[in-house]
Amino acid sequence: MVLARGAMKQFEEIKKITAIGTGMIGPDVSLCVAMAGNDVTMMGRNDDSVARGRARFGKNLKYLVDNGVYNLKEADQINGRLQTSINLSDAVAGSDLVVEAIIEVLEDKQALFKSLEDLCSPETILVSSTSGLSSNDLAAGLRHRNRAMVMHFWNPPYAVPLVECVPNDGTSEQTVETCRKWLEHLGKEPVFLKKDTMGHIGNRLQHALLRECFHLIQSGVADAQNIDKVFRSCLGPRYASIGLIEYMETVGWDLQVKVESYLLPDLSADQRPQKILMDLYKAGTWGAKTNSGLYDWANKSLDEVTARQNSLFLDRVRGWKNNRQGLAIKP
């Protein structure tokens, strides 16, 4: 990808942030911004959606307090940095960077970006939190494509460091550099893709694994619980400390050639959602949100699972916070 040149916002100029959307990502990105010491405006469609977004912001901030990341005084300061709005024009007035976090429908996101282009200055950076839509498609109707890109925060953004960044073919080098510095300011670890790719990196890997998981269940090889045990007792801990490619190079590509020669033909190559997934979908057994799925969520605590998921991430957030405080008090 050859990045365009153009005068855009410098990192030092990124002062006012707006997050549009009050579902999962908008409030969590707003929390990230407030945790980094900046004011943020969260915009929703109506008073009810704003109330839900503020409630999620507050719940996750309380979770960080309960886990010793922040004290009550610090939490009050973070909460005080959040403003809300139900008017798009008011929400983005004077904004230096706008994060779109609305429904994952291309046409809706494109329409919003066109409105933002009319309401914001040409230098305002516009980013989408999409988890897989094309950066080029999102920016297709913009007059100033140089200031737009994808910035996919992984869930939950207040804890997970990864952010996948996908420039479109017209994104400027300055936009990329500003976004890199801004994300690092938030304590994130941005990964910039070299080309626009559906699903980015993480979701392509995740769904390739999920496809094989369903294949193993349907083939009668193992149940969901034992497949997850393989992740928890080996693959998860291993790849939390070493990358997949890095690990394979410790083993040797000569061995991998032998393994792939017999294994790849036996792996799932399904091109559509598998029967087991469609059966779950049609039955309305969608997992934790319906209290049923491949696990019995009526007798399984979502809060406990979330706490287990976030434990290692929170250690990193504590380290980031302590490092920021250490830098702030240096002469």
What crossing angle do the helices spanning 244-251 and 253-263 adopt, rounded to 10°?
Answer: 110
pLDDT of residue 303: 87
Q: Summarize pLDDT for 179-223 with one digit per residue, the tens.
A: 999 999 999 999 999 999 989 999 999 999 999 999 999 999 999
Report how far residue 160's alpha carbon sits from residue 176's, in angstroms, rounded to the nearest whole number. Answer: 21
What amino acid occupies position 288?
A
98-128 tens-digit pLDDT:
999 999 999 999 999 999 999 999 899 999 9
CA-CA distance, 90 to 79, in Å (whole number)?
A: 20
Burial of 194 (0-12, 13-18, 19+ CB in 10 A): exposed
Report the side by side order of strands in the sheet with 82-85: 82-85, 40-43, 17-20, 97-100, 125-128, 148-153, 162-167, 189-192
Q: Cα(39)–Cα(59) distance, rounded to whole angstroms?
A: 19
**Strand 162-167 and strand 148-153: pairing?**
antiparallel
For residues 83 and 39, the answer to whether their CB atoms sit within 8 Å is: yes
Take residue 94 and report the two structure tokens written for it. 């004077």
Angle between helices 25-35 and 72-80 (to 10 degrees): 110
Q: Which residue's structure tokens are 């309380």?
A: 62
- The pLDDT tens digits for 174-186 are 999 999 999 999 9
What number of other Cβ atoms are within 10 A of residue 154's Cβ? 18
Predicted confidence at residue 312, as pLDDT, reads 85
Q: Which of 63, 58, 60 is nearest to 84 (CA)?
A: 58
Low-confidence ranges of the chain (pLDDT < 50): 2, 5-6, 329-331
Describe the crossing of helices 25-35 and 47-66 by its angle, rounded to 10 degrees. Answer: 50
Contact in structure between 113 and 141 (CB atoms under 8 Å): yes
Give me the count of residues in the chain: 331
Cα–Cα separations (whole angstroms), residue 181 to 10, 63, 177, 207, 304: 9, 27, 6, 30, 34
Domains assigned to the chain = 11-192 (3.40.50.720), 202-314 (1.10.1040.10)
Per-residue pLDDT, 5: 46
CB–CB of 148/134 below 8 Å? no
Under a CB-based contact definition with an 8 Å cutoff, are residues 43 and 65 in contact?
no
